[in-house]
Amino acid sequence: MNTHWTFIPVSTRSILQSFVSSHKSDLFRCDSVENGFLSPPYACSYSYSAKAGKTPYLAVSTEEGAVHIFNTLKRSEWDAEPICATLQPHENGVYDVKWSPSDSRLATCSADRSTRISCPHTSQLLHTLTGHTSSVKRAAWHPSNHSLLCSGGRDGAICVWDLRIPQSNNSPVFNIFDAHESLTFRGRRSKQYTPKTITNLIFNEDMSLVSSGSLDGVLRCWDLRFLSGRSPAKLKRITPSLCSPTDPTALHGSRRPRGILSLTAGTGPSSGLLFALAADSRIHTYAASSLTSLPINFTDPNIQVNGSFYISSAVSPCGRWLASGGGKSALLFDISAAAEPFSRASPGVVLKAQLGEVYAVDWADGMVASCADDRTVRIWRPDVDTYKSCLENPDEYQWKWSWGVSSLLSTSI
């Protein structure tokens, strides 16, 4: 007699529902470096050590070119707020901030068309990288080498940088121009031509690079091992080693493709998957090895992207959960079974406490941060006891806490 065992993943949704945020000890404000007001946060990033369970340092970039580094360690309401370190690498808005794998460097991407590398410990500006002709939107470090990184811009180009090489000529190691243009395009550009912005980059250990663009949901993979740093005039059109065979953003009743706002890689139980928040307000799932879109996707009526490319999503260090901005709240999804055949997306958990639109999110071990245009940063943590107290006495606890609320939408795919 043959016995066939079917693995049924255990849902962790009850943990997501227990995320709470203290109005006093979990609230951080982005003070302006120029005046006594507050500055809107554009992006946030937890350090690698924070994701590994060590001191949870969170870097938050702002509209005025600053980066605040908060220590978001859990504290009591009567404890003093930790001192915030502030860097000023730019004089214009910083669209992305990323820690290097060793946490010894910060990469920032700005509207001033540069990517800058700073030391988070000394605030010293180490490198200014100026290979783009327009705003720089995203940066990604190589997973294990803190000298290698890439950047993507509004000019449609991807630049790859090696910080060990002198940057006196401000040149990247090599460029990928028109990275998300049609592969069949030939001829001159019209005067009305607008480049297709690079919206996300994922740098892989094997020196491959996955990118997304502002026009559609097709991901492209680039094998950097076979590129060289020739001048643009002599450089033939570089073609990707892999493209998504179908565009999931053109499905689900959409009359046209939509761009990808945020792209994040799975880990642990979600390893081998890529999760892409698109302008159709859905989080699409791709197989990382083939860039093929999978049937399962995650959505919620509270995700209202409104065409904004400031919104981000992030997978937790354990690989079981995904956080997303978009709308008046942050949202959490259980993605632990996303790789399983015939899996179905569960409803989201809504984290609502901030008054403005929630854009950037990121995870550390045991906590998630959300940044909103009310110029605040919120930290959310699972706390079953506090959550139960909030449910039992909401009128009393609403003055001290905010807590997760289950979405009413059943997202069957």
List phi, psi (to 5°) of 296.
-80, 135
pLDDT by residue (tens digit) across 360-399?
Answer: 999 999 999 999 999 999 999 999 999 999 999 999 999 9
Within a domain: 354: yes
Within a domain: 381: yes
Residue 141 has pLDDT above 70, yes or no: yes
Residue 187 has pLDDT above 60, yes or no: no
**pLDDT value for 79:** 82
Contact 359, 395 (CB under 8 A): no
Report if pTM > 0.75.
Answer: yes
**pLDDT value for 234:** 47
Query: Quick one: how many helices (H) and strands (E) in the chain?
Result: 4, 31
Determine the Cα–Cα distance for residues 369 and 360; give it in Å rounded to an integer: 8
Mean pLDDT score of the chain: 89
Residue 268 has pLDDT above 50, yes or no: yes
Determine the Cα–Cα distance for residues 258 and 165; give it in Å rounded to an integer: 38
Within a domain: 309: yes
Within a domain: 135: yes
Does residue 375 come out as left (phi exceeding 0), alpha (psi in the -120 to 50 range) or beta?
left
Pairwise pLDDT comparison (42 vs 182), residue with the higher score? 42
Q: How many domains does the chain divide into?
A: 1
Pairwise pLDDT comparison (271 vs 188), residue with the higher score? 271
Residue 338 has pLDDT above 50, yes or no: yes
- Indicate the DSSP class of residue 80: P
CB burial readout 29-61, b (16+ within 10 A) else e? bbbbeeeeeebbbbbbbbbbbbbeeeebbbbbb
Within a domain: 1: no
Residue 409 has pLDDT above 60, yes or no: no
Most distant CA atoms of the chain, gap in Å? 76
| C-alpha gyration radius of the chain | 21
**pLDDT value for 170:** 63
Residue 130 has pLDDT above 70, yes or no: yes
Pairwise pLDDT comparison (402 vs 170), residue with the higher score? 402
pLDDT by residue (tens digit) across 201-254?
Answer: 999 999 999 999 999 999 999 999 877 555 444 456 788 999 999 999 998 777
Determine the Cα–Cα distance for residues 260 and 86; give it in Å rounded to an integer: 31
Residue 325 has pLDDT above 60, yes or no: yes
Give the SS3 label for residue 397: helix
Determine the Cα–Cα distance for residues 264 and 71; give it in Å rounded to an integer: 24
Residue 305 has pLDDT above 90, yes or no: no
Beta bridge partners of 372: 358, 376
**pLDDT value for 227:** 72
Give the SS3 label for residue 15: helix
| Residues whose CB is less than 8 angstroms from the CB of residue 357 and which lie 6 or more positions away in sequence, other chains included | 308, 325, 327, 328, 372, 373
High-pLDDT (> 90) share of the chain, %: 72
Contact 130, 114 (CB under 8 A): yes
Q: What is the CATH number of the domain that holds 84?
A: 2.130.10.10
Structural domain containing residue 152: 13-182+192-406
Lowest mean pLDDT among 140-154, 176-190, 220-234, 283-297: 220-234
**H-helix or E-strand spanning residue 71:** strand 67-71
Report residue 6's pLDDT band, with 50, 70 and 90 as the boundaries: very low
Lowest mean pLDDT among 40-54, 291-305, 358-372: 291-305
Within a domain: 126: yes
Lowest mean pLDDT among 105-119, 216-230, 398-412: 398-412
Within a domain: 413: no
Residue 84 has pLDDT above 90, yes or no: no
| Residues whose CB is less than 8 angstroms from the CB of residue 75 and which lie 6 or more positions away in sequence, other chains included | 25, 81, 82
Within a domain: 7: no
Report residue 411's pLDDT band, with 50, 70 and 90 as the boundaries: very low
**pLDDT value for 188:** 60
**pLDDT value for 10:** 64
Cα atoms found within 13 Å of the Cα of residue 79, Cβ hemisphere only: 13
- Indicate the DSSP class of residue 181: S
Determine the Cα–Cα distance for residues 370 and 377; give it in Å rounded to an integer: 6
Residue 297 has pLDDT above 50, yes or no: yes
